Structure 1
Amino acid sequence: MNKCYTSSIKSIRNAFLLGFLVCSATAFSQTTNFNTLNEMHNEVPDDPYIEVNKAAMERSPSYEAAGPNYFTKQVNVDSNGNNIVGDAGNEPSIAVDPTNPDRMVIGWRQFDDVSSNFRQAGNAYSLNGGYNWVNPDVLTPGNFRSDPVLDFDSEGNLYYNSLTTGFVCQVFTISDGGQDWGAPVAAFGGDKQWMRIDRSGGVGDGNNYSYWNSSFSTCAPNNFTRSVDGSQNFESCVLVDGNPRWGTLAVDASGNLYTVGQNNAGLIVTKSTTAQNPANPVVFDFFNTVDLDGELDAGIPINPQGLLGQAWIDVDISGGIGHGNVYVCASVNRISNGDAADVMFAKSIDGGITFAPPIRINDDASESNYQWFGTMAVAPNGRIDVVWLDTRNAPNLLESVLYYSFSEDQGDSWSENKLISESFDPTIGYPNQNKMGDYFDMVSDNDYAHVAWANTLNGGQDVYYTRISPYGLLGVEDYSEANPFQLVLFPNPVSDTTTLLFDISSEEHITVTVFDLLGRKINVLLDETVFGKQSLSWEGVNAERAKLTSGLYFISIQSKTNRQTIKVLLE
C-alpha cells in the first residue's frame, strides 16, 4: 500500500491534504464526544501475519543528526546500521538502567512491511549511552503485539509490557543484565495500558503496576493490576477510581502510586497509598480533576487514526524545595481559545489534592498550530523536561518538528522552546494505518533528557533516540561520539551546489557516497586516504554528471571505524 517511494509519498501527502481541507475547521476545533473517542481506539490484529524476507528489502543509510545540545540516532536499523526501506515503527517506549545509565532499551510497534497493519514487538538496546543501537529480532516472531511499555526496577531488571490478541497483556523480563528476554508472563491488561515499576526503596520497591482502558479489558470493567513478586505473577484486576484512560502512572519517593487519565468529566489524578504494601489490597485514596484548560483528543488531521497524545504524570523525588510535587502534562484541545493542540502543564504541592492553574509550555503566538504528542519526565534533581511535535512553522499545519523546554523552578517558568529536529511530513510511510502511533516516551536524569520518538526524516516512519542537554551543550566526548567527522553541509536544501566540510583526525581511507531514498549508490565524491580538514562540492549530479531529479538524498562518509550520514534535499 504505502511504500516509501517518492511517488507514493507525494500521493499520500496530497490525499491527506485534500482530506484536511475538506474537513471544516469548526468540526476539529471541539473535542470529539468522549464516549466516541473511547470506543474508536483499540488494538486488534486486522491484517494476517505474512512472513517478510527482510534480507531482500532495500537499504538506505540510517538517519542521524547532532547539534550543540542534542544528538539523534535511528534505532530500528539492520545489523550493519542501515535503514530498512519499506518497514515502519512507532509508539516507542524507552527504559534507562538506573544501575548503568549507558544501558538503554527501546521497544516499539514493528511493522515489517507498510502494506500490512500486522504489528509485532520491536526492541533494540544500546550499551554505550545511545550512540549505537542493536536491533535483535522481534519478541515472539509472528505473534501480534502492540502498545509496548518498558521500565527498569532499582536493581537493573528490565520489563517489557506487550499487548497481544484478546486485549491480553504479557510482561517479558531480563533479570540477568543481559539481552535475552525470558518467557512472557500473563499480566491481565487491556488496550492503551501503561506500566510503572516502584523504585522508591521502600516496602513496595520492585512492584509492577499497570492500568489501561476499561472498555477493552481482559477483566472489564476493571483496569488495574499489580505484581509484588518481580512480575512473575499478577493479581486479579481492580478498577481505578474515576475510571481514567489514555494516561500514565508515577510513584513518589514514599512509594505512593499516582495515575492520570481522562474520564467523561475531564482529566483526573488518582492516588493510592496502599498499593505499595504487598500485604494490603490496592485501594485508591481519592481522585481529583486536573484543569489543563482542555481535554485529550483523537482523530485529528495531524494524526487521523491516532491520539493527540496521552496524559503524563510524574513526581519530584529530589529531596529539595519541590520534593513531593505532582506534575501533569498533556497535549490538549483547548477550551478557552479553541486551539486544537497546546502543551499544557499543572502542578500540585499537596500530593494531588489540588492543582494550580494550568500553564502553556509552547511559546508560539498562534492558536491554529498543532503542538502534539506532548511528553514529560522529571529528573532526580527535580528538573522537569517536556518535548512535543510542533507545526508552528508549517504553512500547511502539517510539517512537524521536535521541540523541547525545561523548568528548574517546579514548573513556575519554562525555558525558551528549543528546536531539536529538522522538519518532516508525519503522513508518509503510514503502515496501512493512518497515524504516527499514540505516544512518545522520555526518561530524564540529572544531565540529560532521553527521548524515544518516531519521525519520517529518512522517508519512512521509523524509531529514533535523542539525547538532549537542557543546558545547551553536550560534553566534548558526547558531541564527538555523535558527530565523529564534525560533518557540515551548506546550503541545504540544494538548488545548485552544496559544500561538504568534515575533519579526519588521523590519516585513514575515507569514502564519501551519495545515496537515493532507496539506498542506491548515486555518486562517489571521495574514495582515498586523507587527513585533516576536508572540503567537497556536489552539484546534485550522479556519477555520469547528469542532474538528478529533486527529492531526498543522503551523503554518507565512511571510515574503517566510523560512519556518518546527512540528509540532503535537492530542489
Structure 2
Amino acid sequence: MKIHLVPALVSSLLPALAAFGQTTGEKHREVPTGRPAATAGPVVTSPPVRVERGGHLSVQVNVDATGNNILGDAANEPSIAIDPTDPRRAVIGWRQFDSVFSSFREGGYAWTDDGGQTWTFPGVLEEGVFRSDPVLDVDADGRFFYNSLTGGFVNTIHVSTDGGRTFDMGTFAFGGDKQWMGIDRTGGTGHGNVYANWTRTFSTCDGQFTLSYDDGMSYEDCIDVPGAPRWGTIAVDADGAVYIAGTGFVVAKSTTLRDPGLPPAFDFATPIDLGGPGLFGAAPNPGGLGGQTWIDVDVSGGPRHGDVYLLSTVDPPGNDPADVVLARSTDGGLTWSDPIRVNDDPPGPDAWQWFATMAVAPDGRIDVVWNDTRNSLEANISELYYASSGDGGRTWFENTPITPAFDSWLGWPQQNKLGDYYDMVSDDRAANVAYAATFNGEQDVYFTRIEAPSCADADGDSFVAFTDLLAVIGGWGPCDGCSADFDGDGVVGVTDLLLV
C-alpha cells in the first residue's frame, strides 16, 4: 500500500515540520568550547584494537603515527568516503577529543590505501581550531571533500588531492549545525556539483542549503529547503536529481539544482510516515541523537533503478523503545510505502535498535547497520548488527551481529553521547562501515568491511534459475569481478556452482 499525499495536504504539513525543527532542534546543537591547557608529559599509548566476531574484523582507525592507540582521548561521529577510481583508498573523518576531560574537539581524519587493513592518522585539519560534525564525500576523480563545522556554525569544506594524506585550508560554505554533503558523480549536467544542507534553526545565513557549480572552489548563496529537513542526509540519483531527507520525517527533491543555468529551487517536499518519531536523548545515547535519517537511491540500471529509500531509527507504538524502519518510493519520492521493520527480533521493552545507517550498493543491494541491545537487554550494552536486502527492502537476510558487545556510556568526553551518527559506503560485494565503539574502555573509531550475503543471481534478473547455472559454466575459470564469481575469490568454479 502506498501513502498518497495530495498537494494541499503536503502544503499544510510542511510548516508544522519546520516548527518541529525549531523546537526540538533547540535542544541539540554543537556549542564551541575553549581548548584546554596542554598537559605536561608524553602521550601515553597502548596497542591498537582489532576485534573480530563471526569472521568480521574491525580495525581501529584513530591511531597515532606508530599505529598505537592514544590513551585518554576520544573519537566519535565518523564519516567515510572511498575513492571510486581505486577502492583501496579511503578516508575517515571524526570528532577528535584529545582529552576526555574537555569537550573541545578538532577535525580528525585518517587514510588507508590497502582497503582498510591499516590506517594513518596524520593529524587534525587545523591544530587548535574547534571543529565538529565531520562529513566526507569524494568526487568521480577521487578528490576527497571534508565538510567541517566550526565556531559560529560556519562550515568549511576542505579538499584532498593526495588520497587524504593532506587537506587544503578549506573554502567557506556558509553552513550551520548538523550539516550533510553529497557530490554528483553521474557524468551528466550536474557532474562535480557539491551539495550541502544543515539545520535551519542554527544557520549562518537566511537559508539552510548551498551548492558549488565549480568543483568546490566556491559556494552559492543560501536558499531554503521546503519542509526544513534536519538531522539527515543527501542523495543524488542517476539523472542528477537531488534528494534531501530529515527527521520529522520529510524528503525534498530537486531536478533543477544540477543545472547552473536554472534558478536553484526544489520541486516538492513530501512528509513520510515511518511508524513513529525519531529519537533524541534516548537511553543508549542520552546527550545525542538516536540516529540520523538516511536517504539513498538505486542507480543500478536494474529492475528497481530509480527507487528511493528512506531509513531511520524510530520509536514505534507500544513498549518497544526503538526499531530500524525503512520506506520505499517507486515514483521519485512523491509517494512512499508503508514502513518496513528491518530488525527481526521480537518487540520488547528493552531492545534498542539505534544509530541506524544505510547505503545502497551500485548493484541495488540495500545495506543497513545499527547498534542493538537485544542480547543484553541493557540500554548501554550494544552490538553492531547488519542486514541486507536484494529486493528493494521487501525481504531481508537474517540480522547478523558483527562486533562484540560494548558499553555506549563509557569514555564520554564531557558529552554524554557516542556522537550522533555512523557512516557507510557500499560496493557490489560489501558494506564498508565507519563506526565508534568502546572495546578498550574509551571511545574510538573503527572500520569494518562486511561481505554481503551471496545470492547466485548471475544475470541480474532477481531470480536464481537455470540461466544462472549456464552463466557459471560459461564463465568457468579465472574471472576477477565477473557476475558469476559469487564468492568473490576471482575464480568461477565449484563453490560458485554449489551456490546455484
Tell me the residue number matched to 2:333: 352
**2: distance between equivalents of 1:126 and 1:347?**
34
The 1:118–1:288 alpha-carbon spacing in structure 2 relative to 1, beyond 3 Å, is same
Tell me how far 1:278 sits from its aligned partner: 1.6
The answer to which structure has the higher strand fraction is 1
Unaligned regions of 5+ residues in structure 2, if any? Answer: 1-19, 455-485, 491-500
Tell me how far 1:474 sits from its aligned partner: 8.0
The 1:344–1:380 alpha-carbon spacing in structure 2 relative to 1, beyond 3 Å, is same
**2: distance between equivalents of 1:347 and 1:173?**
33
**2: distance between equivalents of 1:402 and 1:476?**
26
Tell me the residue number matched to 1:164: 150
2:178 paired with 1:192: yes
Q: For residues 443-522 of structure 1, what are the structure 2 equivalents within 5 Å? A: 443-471=425-453
CA RMSD, Structure 1 to Structure 2 (Å): 1.7
Deviations 1:131-163 (A, max 9, x none): 000001101100000000000001111100000
Deviations 1:488-508 (A, max 9, x none): xxxxxxxxxxxxxxxxxxxxx
Deviations 1:274-306 (A, max 9, x none): 010122221100011111101212111111110
2:26 paired with 1:45: no
2:371 paired with 1:389: yes
**1: distance between equivalents of 2:217 and 2:297?**
27
Tell me how far 1:46 sits from its aligned partner: 2.7
Tell me the residue number matched to 2:275: 293
Tell me the residue number matched to 2:5: none
| Aligned residues of 2:368 and 2:388 also touching (Cα < 8 A) | yes
The 1:123–1:163 alpha-carbon spacing in structure 2 relative to 1, beyond 3 Å, is same
**2: distance between equivalents of 1:214 and 1:275?**
19
Tell me the residue number matched to 1:512: none
2:251 paired with 1:269: yes
| Aligned residues of 1:447 and 1:470 also touching (Cα < 8 A) | yes
Tell me the residue number matched to 1:247: 232
Q: For residues 531-570 of structure 1, what are the structure 2 equivalents within 5 Å? A: none
**1: distance between equivalents of 2:111 and 2:406?**
25
**1: distance between equivalents of 2:422 and 2:175?**
20
| Aligned residues of 1:187 and 1:233 also touching (Cα < 8 A) | yes
Tell me how far 1:340 sits from its aligned partner: 1.9
**2: distance between equivalents of 1:234 and 1:47?**
29
The match for 1:281 among 263, 266, 289 is 263
How does the TM-score come out when normalised to structure 2? Answer: 0.85
Tell me how far 1:320 sits from its aligned partner: 0.2
Who wins on radius of gyration, i.e. which is larger? 1
Tell me how far 1:178 sits from its aligned partner: 6.0
Tell me how far 1:68 sits from its aligned partner: 5.5
Tell me the residue number matched to 1:144: 130
Deviations 1:442-477 (A, max 9, x none): 000001100000000111000000100012798679
Tell me the residue number matched to 1:257: 242
Tell me the residue number matched to 1:231: 216
**1: distance between equivalents of 2:22 and 2:264?**
27
Deviations 1:181-200 (A, max 9, x none): 11210000000000000111
| Aligned residues of 1:37 and 1:297 also touching (Cα < 8 A) | no
The 1:42–1:474 alpha-carbon spacing in structure 2 relative to 1, beyond 3 Å, is farther
SS in 2 for 1:305: coil
The match for 1:104 among 75, 90, 103 is 90
Aligned length: 439
Unaligned regions of 5+ residues in structure 1, if any? Answer: 1-32, 478-571
Tell me the residue number matched to 2:313: 331
The 1:456–1:476 alpha-carbon spacing in structure 2 relative to 1, beyond 3 Å, is farther
| Aligned residues of 1:453 and 1:463 also touching (Cα < 8 A) | yes
How does the TM-score come out when normalised to structure 1? Answer: 0.75
Deviations 1:193-224 (A, max 9, x none): 0000011110101100010001110014x100
Tell me the percent identity: 52
SS in 1 for 2:35: coil
The 1:275–1:51 alpha-carbon spacing in structure 2 relative to 1, beyond 3 Å, is farther
Q: Could you tell which deviates more after superposition, 171-180 or 301-310? A: 171-180
SS in 2 for 1:38: helix
| Aligned residues of 2:90 and 2:164 also touching (Cα < 8 A) | no
Tell me the residue number matched to 1:120: 106
Tell me how far 1:41 sits from its aligned partner: 1.1
SS in 1 for 2:446: strand
The 1:177–1:35 alpha-carbon spacing in structure 2 relative to 1, beyond 3 Å, is closer
The 1:161–1:115 alpha-carbon spacing in structure 2 relative to 1, beyond 3 Å, is same
| Aligned residues of 2:282 and 2:290 also touching (Cα < 8 A) | yes
SS in 2 for 1:295: coil
